[in-house]
Amino acid sequence: MKFRKKVERFISIDCGLPENSNYTEKITGINYISDAEFIDTGVSKSISPAEMITHQQQLHFVRSFPSGVRNCYRINVNMGVQYLIRATFLYGNYDNINEPPQFDLHFGPNVWDTVLLSNASRPTIKEIIYIPSKDYIQPCLVKTGKGTPFISTIELRTLGNDSYIGDSKKPVILSHFMRYDLGSITNLEYRYKDDVYDRIWSPYESSDWRRLSTSLNNNALAQNSYKPPAIVMTTAATPVNASAPLQFHWYADSVNDQYYLYLYFNEVEKLAGNKTRAFNITLNDEFWYEPVVPAVIYTTTHMTGAKRYQFSLIKTENSTLPPILNAYEVYKVKQFLQPETQQDDVDTITNIKKTYGVAKNWQGDPCGPVKYIWEGLNCSVDGYNPPRITSLNLSSSGLTGQLTYPISKLTMLQYLDLSNNSLQGSLPDFLIQLQSLKVLNVRKNKLTGLVPSELLARSKTSSLSLSVDDNPDLCMTAPCRKKNLTVPLIASFSALIVILLISLGFWIFRRQKVTSSNSKKRGSMISKHERFSYTEILNITDNFKTILGEGGFGKVYFGILQDQTQVAVKRLSLSSMQGYKEFQSEAQLLMIVHHRNLVSLIGYCDEGEIKALVYEYMANGNLQQHLQAETSNILKWNERLNIAVDAANGLDYLHNGCQPPIMHRDLKPSNILLDDNMHAKIADFGLSRAFDNDIDSQILTRPAGTLGYADPEYQRTGNTNKKNDIYSFGIILFVLITGRQAIVRAAGENIHILEWVIPIVEGGDIQKVVDPKLEGKFSINSSRKFLEIAKSCISPTLAERPDISQILAELKECLSLEMVQRHEESENDVIEMSSSSFQSVTAPFPR
């Protein structure tokens, strides 16, 4: 997309016109240009030949958007200048299906209007008066599932800043509601060149009115800041009954809507000395405006609170002539409440896209609306302040060349993932300027030289998660020799899931296995290890040599105890403990929670600011890894059922076996870990309670929980309930059976698994839901029941969600159904084999 540098008074864009084309429209004399330089997407189409005959040239083409959910133009403008902005849509059966679509029109991050095309042969027009706060505008076409969006023209006209909203101390956005020429004797629409601003004036008549016209010249017309067209102002409407009022009205879409009215008066008769014309104006039968004497004046007002607005122009007692009105305009106040992303961030991310040739559908405002945040980005969005880009993930995006300075201008960036690309050169010092940065992942590139010492220092203090491994010529200390990074400095952010090779309760589990006769001896050993010194932690982890990953509470390191037991050591970052209360008491509490389906906490370290948790090491990773695996080692249906039963057992213990009950608050597949025998255990429970502040996590939502799995009711109210975990467990069940992620990015939009799976389940097509990697090898009966259980867990009403004990019982029934079917299939195989063998032996012999 190329951006025009020169911004003209009129910008007239013919959407769909071939690139580099332009023409002057014969009737208006306006020059139109192609839209190709303002947008990268869409296809050019032309309306039917029959429609071309009756419409002006600028409506002969359309740009249609069959691909993508949101497609946006970017048009340079003069910031702070008042514009009339008009978008026109003429369907004209351009797609030969004769079904006009319905879609939304956005303006940057805000909804402008819905485009409803009631007549395929008549243009639909959307028009606003707007003062840009940036040097560009971004009209967007958004699919709503009711056909393919398209657009015919986009027209911008600069208005004088001493009219409409330009002279207001607090500018608003005005959406065109109506604009009428009341005295027209031609019944024609007027626009440019009759109207210097190219407003479209439509004729309007009433049986209660008669029309007046004049050939009088009035120089005051040119002096009026609103510049009403002379051809409109030299005609007027007046009541048929000279003693009656002149009335007009309109109906509001809502009583909460706000309107601005602009009235235009110009005397069109040469009054004799004894003739006078003066009138009052009432609104809904109440006095509204002082006596008006027409002399090219206008009035405007801001009104709200009514369903119907009735205006009456009533001649005064001393007036000898009835009232007149030449024209009027009505605008509805438009609320664009979502601020646009800060322009520095927009310019920077646009520069990054251009520099690296990022092949993503990055259009419109990067951060809004929230539903259409650019792929790979996260933003701070509070609805009041301009959003800022806080996260940029360009992993596996085919980036080449060196890291460029513009990245450092994203000053609020907290997470930067550039891993798995072909970036070259050194890791630049300007990254140090990103003071908010918490995660920097540049692994699997071709970077060279020394890692800046300031970044290393921040990594050592846990204020920065730094991932630089798999860059053979990148090193941490001088002299910099090739391939001296034999151990990863830190695991990548994408390995976030791996960090959850941890759990709670190992010490108690071992204690249960010993007899009472040696319990004192075992208790003594546990006492020795339940609290580790920092020196012991250093020895266990070999000075934090090997990093397994990183989570919301800190980095996780591989370790080995003196008895050669493998462990995972989570060193808690300072930021994760900003809300921590009593670390020791919480850690000790977690160690007495023990169950075969809860991974074990062995001990902890608490020395000043040094806090660490020592967990059992889980050999087979987590459920998320296995579901996403593309290898032949796919989880079978019975394995998925066993994992669901195991996880339900662990959650049942937390909810119903602990006093007081423990709520996990962050259930997800990556928190369900698998041991050597593929038995499932729940990990990371209790940490959300132990630490009140989760700001260190890049994927946690407020106040806890992971996007896609967090209960909407909990996110809305912040009130903790066991049923919040039930919702998350239900999403896990859907993920287990479908093999899909909780949130999938498609066509620039985040699609939640429930949006996809629920309509299919309600339609009864079970086989369409089940993970295709299973290749049909599953029980229909058990999968149907499994889906019923999952659906019950995500009920919007908390009281309707079952207790985990009930879910556990029903999941065991699912497992039984699966075992019965497998047994029947096995018996059938034996019968078929026996029958086949018998026939092969007896066939040669006669009866």
What are the tens digits of pLDDT across the range 187-208? 999 999 999 999 999 999 899 9
Model pTM score: 0.59
Instruction: For residue 614, give Cα distances in angstroms to 396, 551, 684.
Output: 33, 14, 12
Task: Report the pLDDT averaged over residues 503-528.
Answer: 34
pLDDT value at 789 more than 90: yes
Q: What is the DSSP string of 314-348?
A: EE-TT-SB---B-EEEEEEEE---SPPPPHHHHHH
**Spatial distance between the Cα atoms of 56 and 28, rounded to a whole number of angstroms:** 10
Instruction: Give mean pLDDT, residues 515-542.
Output: 60
What pLDDT, on a 0 to 100 scale, did the predictor assign at position 329? 96
Strand 102-107 to 173-181 pairing: unpaired
- pLDDT number for residue 788: 92
What pLDDT shows up at residue 664? 87
Question: What integer pLDDT is reported at residue 322 of this predicted model?
Answer: 96
The topology (CATH level 3) of 353-490 is: 3.80.10
Catalytic residue among 666, 684, 696, 711: 666
Give the pLDDT mean for 712-721.
Answer: 82
Within 10 Å of residue 778's Cβ, how many Cβ atoms? 22
Please say if 725 is a catalytic residue.
Answer: no
- Residue 503: pLDDT over 80: no
Task: State whether residue 251 is helix, strand or coil.
Answer: strand
Closest CA to 101 of 62, 128, 58: 62
The dihedral of CA 615, 618, 651, 706: what is its sign?
positive
Predicted confidence (pLDDT) at residue 582 exceeds the cutoff of 60: no
The Cα 281–Cα 767 span in angstroms is 69
On the question of pLDDT at 505 being above 60, the answer is: no
pLDDT for residue 510: 34
Does residue 52 have a pLDDT over 90? Answer: yes
570 is in an annotated binding site: yes
- The closest alpha carbon to 130, from 168, 181, 175, 194, belongs to 175
- Do 10-158 and 175-334 show the same overall fold? yes
Residue 554: the pLDDT is: 74
Q: How confident is residue 128, by pLDDT bands cut at 50, 70 and 90?
A: very high
Computed over its alpha carbons, how large is the radius of gyration of the chain?
A: 36
For residue 282, the one-letter residue type is T
- Distance (Å, whole) CA 495 – CA 628: 13
Tokens of 771: 């993970």
pLDDT at residue 434 above 60? yes
Mean pLDDT of the chain: 83
Cα separation, 818 vs 637, in Å, equals 9
> Mean per-residue pLDDT for 376-388?
80
Tokens for 41, please give them: 């997407």
pLDDT digits (tens, 9 = 90+) for 73-115: 999 999 999 999 999 999 999 999 999 999 999 999 999 999 9
* Residues 668-709 pLDDT 10s: 998 898 888 899 999 877 665 544 433 333 333 334 578 899
201-210, 480-489, 552-561, 569-578, range with the lowest pLDDT: 480-489
The answer on pLDDT for 544 being more than 60 is: yes
Residue appearing with tokens 């609805």 = 383
pLDDT of residue 393: 86
The pLDDT value given to residue 586: 65
Q: Does position 339 have pLDDT exceeding 50, yes or no?
A: yes
131 pLDDT tier (thresholds 50, 70, 90):
very high
**pLDDT exceeds cutoff 80 at 506:** no
| Angle 701-635-731 from CA coordinates, rounded to 5° | 30
Sign of CA dihedral 127, 129, 132, 135: positive
| CB burial readout 319-338, b (16+ within 10 A) else e | bebbbbbbbbbbbbbbebeb
User: Three-state DSSP class for 385?
Assistant: coil
pLDDT value, residue 201: 97
813/275: higher pLDDT: 275
Buried b (16+ CB within 10 A) or exposed e, 376-410: bbbbbbeeeebbbbbbbbbbebebeeebeebbbbb
How far lies 183's CA from each of 267, 303, 486, in Å?
12, 25, 86
Evaluate whether 750 touches 371 at the Cβ level (below 8 Å).
Answer: yes
Judge whether 455 and 441 are in contact, CB under 8 Å.
Answer: no
Domain extent listing, the chain: 10-158, 175-334, 353-490
Query: How far is it, in rounded angstroms, from Cα 112 to Cα 508?
Result: 61
Confidence band (pLDDT; 50, 70, 90) for 396? confident
Structure tokens at 627: 């579901």
**In terms of C-beta density within 10 A (0-12 exposed, 13-18 middle, 19 or more buried), how is residue 34 classed?**
buried
Q: In a 3-state reduction of DSSP, which class is residue 785?
A: helix
For residue 81, what are its two tokens? Answer: 């200048």
pLDDT score for 825: 61
Does the structure show a pLDDT above 60 at 70? yes
**Spatial separation of the C-alpha atoms in residues 15 and 57, rounded to whole Å:** 11
| Tens of pLDDT, residues 356-370 | 988 888 889 999 887
CATH number, domain 10-158, options 3.30.465.10, 2.60.40.10, 2.60.120.430, 2.60.40.1080: 2.60.120.430
The size of the chain, in residues, is 847
Which pLDDT does position 706 carry in this prediction?
82
Q: Which CATH superfamily is domain 175-334 in?
A: Galactose-binding lectin (2.60.120.430)
Q: What's the mean pLDDT in 334-349?
A: 91
| Banded model confidence at residue 791, pLDDT cuts 50, 70, 90 | very high
pLDDT in tens, 639-657: 999 999 999 999 998 888 8
Q: Please tell me the number of Cα atoms within 13 Å of 104 on its side-chain side.
A: 14
